[in-house]
């Protein structure tokens, strides 16, 4: 075997492979017995032979990837022999002639089952109307319901792919980064792998929005010296106090991740300088025997709040009620030196291990035979979703996504049983959480003895009694306010039971509507409608309309664009109002769009066959990407658009990179929101600046004042981002203007 490999691998390659294997070997601790180490070596030699001569995009021998994944599984997640072997072998069945039977014969049934869960589906097994990405993910989760190690190894696989993403083509980078952000980072969070989740988020941002990532990284680096000084000043009295109490501890500063800083800037609408909790201080202590960890943690909290004043609404107790992923800690935000708020996290060594290594550490401390955990209950919910045969893979992915990443609240039943739900959950979500029949027949609830409707948003600590009626049935309107995947899937299931009836009803409704516009229901027309709704075929379109998930009046509005006269079409072209609605109008060129090359956005969209997405309203100069529809048309989205994230995660093969040329003639409607301190003449100053700029035209100006504060909205026609940024910079210099924000949605 060795001789065969040496012919295919250079000495430099062999040295590199040996270095990587040595790194893996050094990660083994007392968990791995001598017998285990021998089994791992056997797996490595087998995989090295199977992948011999194959290279990665970076030019490295392919075997480097499985070894690196195994290293992450061993050193960063802390799994054992079976998982390390499965990680080494995870691409053998997919990329070589070896089969799962070979895996089972050589390495046992457990390893074979995990490798099967990690092996992607081949094209012939992928239903035509489903996204390949979504179908593969569903298959992987089916194995998760038997063995969670599949997902843990898949996360390690994704982490190594993200660490080596620079060798991939730009459109592949976008697809992989968005998929990582949409599914894998939340999944790592849900399984308690905070270090991996943070790195996945940061790397995704690095490839999706490199300029933003580098700017935040530079700002953090430039403030390092001042930050280190503040940390030392802050922790000095805490160290002295804890040492005097005889507590064994380790105290360190933890910087907020680049992605979480960016995310906070987006969601809160604040600048980098306005984020007050850039820094957190972590205290990890060794608990004394015979005293509860909870009591000792609160003693430390008490010592800290004697030194620094706490922010009353920022004390979080995750020890009394741990998070669903097993996370335990006490968090408190206190006023530190120089008037800065600082978050302090208090954990025992056990809590810290669970926080960093999540699921694996959780079971190491609790043991396999421990009582059912929140994590087990979450896996049970996933099994329920997988057992719904009606949902297609894309729908499943959406439902699964809803089970991730949400802040949790604690609710009580009338008998005092505790139930965890995502923040923003409603009465109907709670009813379905308890039992499907309770949800199906729910007419309202009593919360703390007060009557509330099914749509009422519940709050942490509520005690809820569900009220039912035998005549009540699931209502399509419920889907508008339901937040949990379980409730949504149960309501949809109720409507899908009569699938044939819905299909026929939807077909009749669409054909009737087409008749009104004298349009025949040709396959071309139906293709354009399915593309508009991001569906895969006409059957899905008919079913969605028949079940009421798509409003027939929406279709009427789309079809109206076909009947526009030439003047109206010219007006739309002149002022950048062309959007995804107009896809039905386009005379599509025969020329196929090459996904591997960057799509150039020219000033005349009909020349290059593109339209601008309504959801995020990109304008020339924005950082954008393209989504290739089934009829060879490109819809342009901003890279940070949530709809684009979803498309990249579910239909990444249709994503292309896009760049603007210089736009000078066409204008684009853009909405700005302003606020600040009102004074005489401020509105005329704002409008004067806009009117003096030749390349910007006003459509609508609205201002409202109350209690000395003004709020305003400007609807402007703008050529490109440079002109917009220039305008914002000028307006910010006006005395009294405090904040200007560009709004994504433009409601006409």
The catalytic residues are: 94-95
Q: Three-state secondary structure along 321-380?
A: CCCCCCCCCEEEEEECHHHCEEEEEEEEHHHHHHHHHCHHHHHHHHCCCCCCCHHHHHHH
- Kindly give, in sequence order, each residue whose CB lies less than 8 Å from that of residue 568, ignoring residues fewer than 6 positions away: none
CB atoms within 10 A of CB 7: 8
Instruction: Name the residue among 110, 178, 190 with its Cα closest to residue 152.
Output: 190
Are the C-beta atoms of residues 112 and 100 closer than 8 Å to each other?
yes
Are the C-beta atoms of residues 241 and 307 closer than 8 Å to each other?
yes
Instruction: Name the residue among 151, 132, 279, 154 with its Cα closest to residue 220.
Output: 279
Q: Cα-Cα-Cα-Cα dihedral of 191, 196, 197, 198, to 10°?
A: 150
The C-alpha atoms of residue 676 and residue 733 are separated, in whole angstroms, by: 12
Phi-psi category of 424—alpha, beta or left, where left has phi over 0 and alpha has psi -120 to 50?
left
- Kindly give, in sequence order, each residue whose CB lies less than 8 Å from that of residue 648, ignoring residues fewer than 6 positions away: 174, 175, 177, 178, 179, 182, 625, 655
Instruction: Name the residue among 485, 480, 479, 462 with its Cα closest to residue 404.
Output: 485
- Token pair belonging to 201: 């988020």
Residue corresponding to tokens 């959406």:
398
**Looking at the DSSP assignment, which residues form a beta bridge with residue 698?**
716
What DSSP line would sit under 40-105, residue for residue? HHHHHHHHHHHTTT-B-TTSSBTTHHHHHHHHIIIIII---HHHHHHHHHTTHHHHSS--HHHHHH
**Long-range CB contact pairs, 705-711, < 8 A, 24+:** 705/678, 708/677, 708/678, 709/675, 709/676, 709/677, 709/678, 710/674, 710/675, 710/676, 710/677, 710/678, 710/682, 710/683, 710/736, 711/673, 711/674, 711/675
CA atoms within 13 A on the CB side of 319: 20
DSSP assignment letter at 648? H
Instruction: Name the residue among 429, 424, 386, 390 with its Cα closest to residue 407.
Output: 424
Starting at the edge strand found earlier in the chain, the sheet holding 668-677 runs 696-706, 709-718, 668-677, 737-743
Instruction: Name the residue among 586, 652, 574, 642 with its Cα closest to residue 614.
Output: 642
- Token pair belonging to 555: 């279709």
- Token pair belonging to 127: 């239903």
CB atoms within 10 A of CB 182: 23
Give phi and psi for 452, each to the nearest 5: -135, 155
Query: ∠ CA 289-292-296 to the nearest 5 degrees?
Result: 90
Q: Cα-Cα-Cα-Cα dihedral of 461, 465, 471, 473, to 10°?
A: 20
């Amino acid at each position: 075997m060795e001789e065969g490999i040496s012919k295919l691998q250079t000495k430099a390659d062999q040295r590199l492979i040996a270095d990587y294997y040595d790194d893996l070997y050094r990660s083994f601790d007392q968990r791995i017995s001598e017998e285990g180490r021998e089994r791992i070596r056997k797996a490595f030699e087998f995989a090295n032979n199977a992948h011999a001569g194959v290279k990665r995009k970076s030019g490295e021998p392919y075997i480097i990837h499985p070894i690196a994944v195994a290293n992450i599984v061993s050193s960063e997640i802390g799994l054992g022999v079976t998982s390390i072997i499965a990680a080494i072998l995870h691409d053998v069945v997919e990329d070589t002639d070896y089969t799962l039977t070979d895996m089972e014969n050589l390495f046992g049934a457990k390893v074979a089952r995990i490798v099967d869960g990690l092996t992607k589906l081949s094209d012939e097994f992928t239903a035509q109307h489903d996204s390949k990405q979504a179908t593969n993910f569903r298959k992987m989760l089916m194995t998760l319901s038997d063995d969670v190690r599949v997902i843990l190894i898949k996360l390690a696989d994704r982490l190594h792919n993200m660490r080596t993403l620079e060798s991939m083509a730009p459109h592949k980078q976008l697809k992989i980064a968005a998929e990582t952000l949409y599914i894998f980072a939340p999944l790592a969070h849900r399984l308690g792998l905070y270090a991996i989740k943070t790195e996945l988020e940061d790397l995704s941002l690095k490839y999706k929005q490199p300029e933003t990532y580098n700017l935040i990284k530079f700002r953090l680096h430039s403030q390092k010296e001042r930050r280190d000084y503040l940390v030392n000043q802050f922790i000095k009295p805490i160290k002295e106090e804890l040492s005097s109490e005889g507590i064994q501890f380790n105290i360190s500063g933890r910087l907020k991740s680049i992605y979480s800083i960016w995310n906070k800037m987006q969601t809160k609408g604040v600048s980098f300088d306005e984020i007050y909790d850039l820094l957190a201080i972590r205290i990890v202590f060794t608990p004394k025997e015979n005293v509860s960890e909870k009591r000792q943690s609160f003693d430390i909290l008490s010592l800290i709040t004697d030194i620094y004043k706490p922010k009353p609404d920022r004390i979080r107790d995750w020890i009394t009620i741990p998070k669903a992923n097993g996370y335990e800690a006490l968090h408190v935000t206190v006023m530190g030196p120089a008037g800065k708020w600082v978050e302090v996290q208090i954990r025992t060594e056990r809590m810290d291990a669970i926080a960093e290594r999540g699921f694996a550490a959780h079971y190491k401390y609790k043991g396999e035979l421990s009582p059912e955990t929140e994590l087990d209950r979450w896996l049970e919910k996933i099994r329920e979703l997988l057992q719904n045969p009606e949902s297609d893979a894309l729908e499943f992915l959406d439902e699964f996504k809803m089970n991730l990443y949400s802040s949790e609240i604690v609710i009580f039943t009338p008998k005092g049983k505790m139930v965890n739900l995502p923040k923003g959950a409603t009465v109907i979500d709670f009813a379905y959480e308890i039992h499907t029949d309770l949800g199906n027949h729910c007419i309202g609830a009593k919360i703390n003895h007060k009557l509330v409707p099914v749509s009422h948003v519940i709050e942490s600590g509520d005690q809820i009694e569900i009220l039912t009626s035998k005549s009540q049935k699931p209502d399509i309107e419920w889907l508008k306010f339901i937040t949990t995947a379980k409730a949504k899937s149960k309501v949809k299931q109720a409507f899908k039971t009569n699938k044939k009836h819905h299909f026929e009803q939807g077909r009749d409704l669409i054909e009737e509507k087409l008749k009104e516009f004298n349009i025949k229901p040709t396959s071309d027309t139906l293709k354009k409608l399915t593309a508009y709704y991001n569906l895969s075929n006409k059957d899905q379109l008919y079913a969605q309309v028949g079940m009421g998930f798509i409003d027939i009046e929406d279709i009427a509005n789309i079809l109206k664009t076909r009947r526009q006269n030439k003047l109206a079409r010219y007006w739309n072209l002149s002022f950048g109002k062309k959007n995804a609605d107009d896809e039905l109008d386009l005379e599509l060129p025969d020329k196929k769009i090459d996904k591997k090359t960057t799509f150039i956005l020219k000033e005349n969209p009909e020349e290059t066959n593109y339209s601008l997405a309504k959801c995020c309203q990109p304008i020339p100069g924005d950082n954008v990407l393209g989504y290739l529809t089934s009829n060879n048309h490109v819809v342009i989205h901003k890279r940070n658009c949530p709809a684009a994230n979803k498309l990249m995660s579910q239909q990444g093969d249709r994503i292309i990179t896009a760049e603007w040329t210089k736009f000078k003639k066409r204008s684009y409607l853009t909405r700005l929101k302003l606020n600040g301190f009102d004074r005489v003449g401020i509105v005329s100053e704002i409008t004067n600046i806009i009117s003096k700029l030749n390349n910007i035209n006003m459509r609508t100006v609205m201002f409202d004042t109350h209690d000395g504060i003004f709020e305003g909205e400007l609807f402007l026609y703008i050529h490109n981002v440079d002109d917009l940024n220039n305008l914002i910079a000028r307006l910010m210099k006006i005395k009294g203007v405090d904040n200007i924000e560009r709004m994504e949605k433009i409601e006409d």
